[in-house]
């Protein structure tokens, strides 16, 4: 697998993308959704989701606060502060919610999945599974990959909710925008399918990408302390880049 | 090929060569493991003892030669056949490799839950019996991080025995054990062999312990089997490489120094 040529320079990222693709095919090569597998997926959704709640809730609230602050300031120069609720909701549902949640998720849950799988490799737990005739791809990789697809949209909804709450605090309580205008404009101008569900769809795609990269880097981490540390760093970097790149493509073509 | 081998052989490695990149690990190795006996594979660190075990379990494919388990070529097995064979082989890895997110009980129960359709009440009895055999029934609700290294390995042994394998492979079972745990491990390995008739392969470099449990020994050094025989035969052997290993001499046919330029050349450069 490792030719000297493919280990250097521009070939390396190309090789890594290829490997990640092959890895994905292998991960889903054998899908048997028995009872144990469903339970394991739900367990992982709980792990990655619950672990990320604190950071999602706090960041969501403050993003809502600061976003409303900046938007209100900008809109007041045009005398259009009535639109603050609309701008807040649209930018959150369409972009900031899915993207920021995915990147925060990569930093919190993605890294821990990478470290977990890397350590399982280093401490021979993956070998032990193999030796017990249990496929680690099926038992370890698949549930963690699918958990991200479920957890990230759910976390995005929580992020959006808290951000809107932050917006309410700033616009309605501090700047005295009338609640009727705030909510009314938001309701009229936000399209449930295109804006809201479009964002949820994006976040599911991001969840898939982040958890794919997390299990991939964990799986191929060198089985040492440094190797695992490097792999977690790679997870964050690769996740952030891929999420923003895919976000542009999805936004341009879908929304 | 298979027919003219004596049927008492559980495992046979024939003409096996393995290399990692440029480095040749094993070359034209022949190693036979008789059924129902304890075979020790000895050799200095890095001589390829663990590689031998990985060949037997099919985790590693030889570049040349064949590995027969129960008369069947491991390299030719389909994935499902390989899995069936692995269910019949228990492996004790060097550090136990218990799953850190499961309790001792769940670790031992995992292969049973995965590969049998037994009701949970029966699984519970089986697991407790296995843990009792290694003396750790009382620790069944503990997580591996709450146990000492020796205890972790005993739980791992219970897990390896969960499906009642016909063959047990032990990778350095004595490394880093205190004298009491070592004695207990020795007795366990011997008893399992004697009472259940489990064919056992034990890799070790603990020369002093080998005569206490092994029926037959192989010494691997320099990529091949340099000596084999019963422990008594090896104790009395005259060959230099056997003497070096059995007596623990720092230098001899197995060199103490890693290959290098002459010392004078390096110092005066």
Q: For chain B, what are the domain ranges?
A: 35-58+79-250
- Whose CA is closest to A109, among A229, A228, A236? A236
Contacts of A123 in chain B (CB under 8 A): 95, 97, 100
Decide if B97 and A133 are in contact by the 8 Å CB cutoff.
no
Q: What is the DSSP letter of B253?
A: S
Selected for mutation to probe chain B from A34, A127, A132 (highest B CB count within 10 Å) is A132
Angle CA(B209)–CA(B213)–CA(B217) in degrees, nearest 5? 80
Q: How far off is chain A from B111, nearest CA to CA, in Å? A: 7
Strands, DSSP E only, in B75-198? 89-92, 167-171
Selected for mutation to probe chain A from B22, B80, B111 (highest A CB count within 10 Å) is B111
pLDDT at B233: 85
Q: How far off is chain A from B38, nearest CA to CA, in Å? A: 20
Selected for mutation to probe chain A from B95, B97, B112 (highest A CB count within 10 Å) is B97
Nearest chain A residue to B112, by CA: A132
From first to last of its 255 residues, chain A has per-residue pLDDT tens of 444 555 667 777 788 888 899 999 888 877 777 788 898 899 999 999 998 999 999 999 999 999 999 999 999 999 999 999 999 999 999 999 999 999 999 999 999 999 999 999 999 999 999 999 888 998 899 999 999 999 999 999 999 999 999 999 999 999 999 999 999 999 999 999 889 999 999 999 999 999 999 999 999 999 999 999 999 999 999 999 999 999 999 999 875
Contacts of B86 in chain A (CB under 8 A): 130-133
pLDDT at B227: 85
Decide if A133 and B84 are in contact by the 8 Å CB cutoff.
yes
Q: For chain A, what are the domain ranges?
A: 32-254
The average pLDDT across B53-72 equals 90
pLDDT at B7: 57
pLDDT in tens, B165-201: 999 999 988 888 888 888 888 888 898 888 888 999 9
Nearest by CB to residue A133, choosing from B99, B113, B115, is: B115
pLDDT at A5: 57
Decide if A123 and B97 are in contact by the 8 Å CB cutoff.
yes
pLDDT at A7: 64
Tell whether the model's pLDDT for residue B142 goes beyond 90. yes
Q: At B16, list the tokens.
A: 């096996």
User: Which residues face B250 on adjacent strands?
Assistant: none
- Answer for the pair A241, A48: CB distance below 8 angstroms, yes or no: no
CATH architecture of B35-58+79-250: 3-Layer(aba) Sandwich (3.40)
A/B interface, count of CB pairs below 8 Å = 46
Q: Is the ipTM of this complex over 0.85?
A: no
Tell whether the model's pLDDT for residue B3 goes beyond 50. no
Contacts of B83 in chain A (CB under 8 A): 133
Phi, psi of B61 (to 5 degrees): -100, 135
Selected for mutation to probe chain A from B59, B69, B99, B144 (highest A CB count within 10 Å) is B99
Question: How much is the mean pLDDT over chain B?
Answer: 86
Could you tell me if B168 lies within 8 Å of chain A, comparing CB atoms?
no
Q: How far off is chain B from A31, nearest CA to CA, in Å? A: 15
- Answer for the pair B134, B166: CB distance below 8 angstroms, yes or no: no
Q: At B72, list the tokens.
A: 């069947």
pLDDT at A2: 47
Nearest by CB to residue A133, choosing from B86, B93, B99, is: B86
Decide if B97 and A125 are in contact by the 8 Å CB cutoff.
yes
The average pLDDT across B145-152 equals 89
The average pLDDT across B138-152 equals 91
Using alpha carbons, list the distances in angstroms from residue A97 to A71, A231, A251, B8: 16, 26, 14, 67
- Whose CA is closest to B183, among B161, B156, B150, B149? B150
Nearest by CB to residue A124, choosing from B84, B93, B115, is: B93
- Answer for the pair A102, A152: CB distance below 8 angstroms, yes or no: yes
The average pLDDT across B79-85 equals 88
Using alpha carbons, list the distances in angstroms from residue A58 to A55, A110, A194: 5, 18, 27
- Answer for the pair B210, B191: CB distance below 8 angstroms, yes or no: no
Nearest by CB to residue A131, choosing from B91, B100, B113, is: B91
Q: Is B96 exposed, middle or buried (0-12, 13-18, 19+ CB in 10 A)?
A: buried
Q: At B264, list the tokens.
A: 């004078």
Give long-range contacts, CB 8 A cutoff, 24+ apart: A19-27: A19/A216, A19/A220, A20/A212, A20/A213, A20/A216, A23/A216, A23/A219, A23/A220, A24/A212, A24/A216, A26/A137, A27/A137, A27/A141, A27/A142, A27/A145, A27/A215
């Amino acid at each position: 697998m490792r030719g000297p040529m493919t280990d250097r320079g521009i070939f390396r990222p190309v090789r890594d993308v290829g490997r990640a693709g092959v890895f994905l095919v292998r991960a889903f090569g054998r899908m048997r959704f028995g009872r144990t597998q469903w339970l394991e997926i739900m367990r992982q959704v709980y792990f990655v989701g619950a672990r990320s709640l604190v950071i999602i809730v706090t960041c969501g609230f403050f993003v809502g606060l600061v976003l409303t602050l900046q938007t209100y300031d900008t809109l007041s120069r045009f005398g259009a502060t009535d639109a603050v609720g609309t701008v807040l909701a649209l930018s959150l549902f369409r972009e900031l919610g899915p993207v920021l949640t995915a990147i925060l998720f990569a930093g919190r849950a993605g890294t821990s999945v990478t470290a977990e799988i890397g350590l399982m490799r280093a401490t021979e737990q993956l070998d032990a599974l193999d030796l017990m005739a249990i496929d680690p791809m099926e038992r370890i990789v698949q549930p963690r990959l699918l958990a991200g697809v479920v957890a990230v949209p759910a976390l995005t909804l929580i992020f959006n909710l808290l951000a809107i709450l932050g917006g309410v605090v700033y616009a309605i309580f501090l700047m005295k925008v009338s609640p009727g205008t705030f909510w009314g404009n938001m309701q009229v101008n936000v399209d449930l399918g295109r804006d809201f569900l479009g964002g949820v769809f994006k976040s599911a795609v991001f969840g898939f990408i982040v958890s794919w990269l997390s299990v991939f880097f964990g799986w191929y981490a060198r089985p040492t302390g440094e190797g695992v540390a490097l792999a977690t760093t790679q997870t964050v970097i690769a996740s952030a880049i891929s999420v923003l790149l895919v976000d542009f493509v999805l936004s341009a073509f879908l929304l | 090929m298979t027919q003219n081998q004596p049927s008492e052989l559980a495992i046979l490695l024939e003409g096996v060569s393995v290399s990692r990149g440029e480095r040749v690990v094993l070359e034209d190795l022949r190693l036979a493991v008789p059924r129902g006996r304890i075979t020790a594979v000895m050799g200095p660190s890095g001589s390829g003892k663990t590689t031998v075990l990985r060949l037997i379990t099919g985790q590693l494919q030889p570049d040349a030669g064949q590995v027969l388990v129960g008369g069947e070529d491991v390299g030719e097995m389909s994935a499902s056949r390989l899995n069936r064979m692995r269910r019949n082989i228990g492996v004790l890895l060097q550090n136990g490799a218990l799953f850190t997110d499961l309790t001792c009980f769940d670790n031992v129960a995992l292969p049973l839950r995965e590969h049998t359709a037994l009701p949970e009440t029966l699984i519970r009895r089986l697991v407790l019996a296995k843990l009792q055999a290694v003396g750790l029934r009382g620790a069944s609700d503990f997580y591996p991080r709450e146990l000492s290294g020796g205890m972790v390995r005993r739980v791992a042994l219970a897990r390896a025995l969960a499906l009642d394998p016909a063959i047990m492979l032990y990778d350095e079972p004595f490394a880093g054990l205190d004298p009491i745990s070592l004695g207990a491990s020795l007795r366990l390995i011997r008893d399992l062999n004697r009472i259940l008739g489990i064919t056992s392969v034990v890799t070790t470099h603990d020369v002093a312990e080998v005569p206490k449990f092994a029926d037959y020994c192989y010494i691997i050094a320099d990529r091949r089997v340099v000596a084999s025989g019963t422990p008594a035969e090896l104790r009395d052997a005259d060959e230099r490489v056997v003497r070096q290993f059995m007596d623990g001499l720092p230098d001899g046919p197995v060199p103490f120094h890693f290959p290098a330029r002459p010392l004078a050349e390096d110092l005066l450069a």
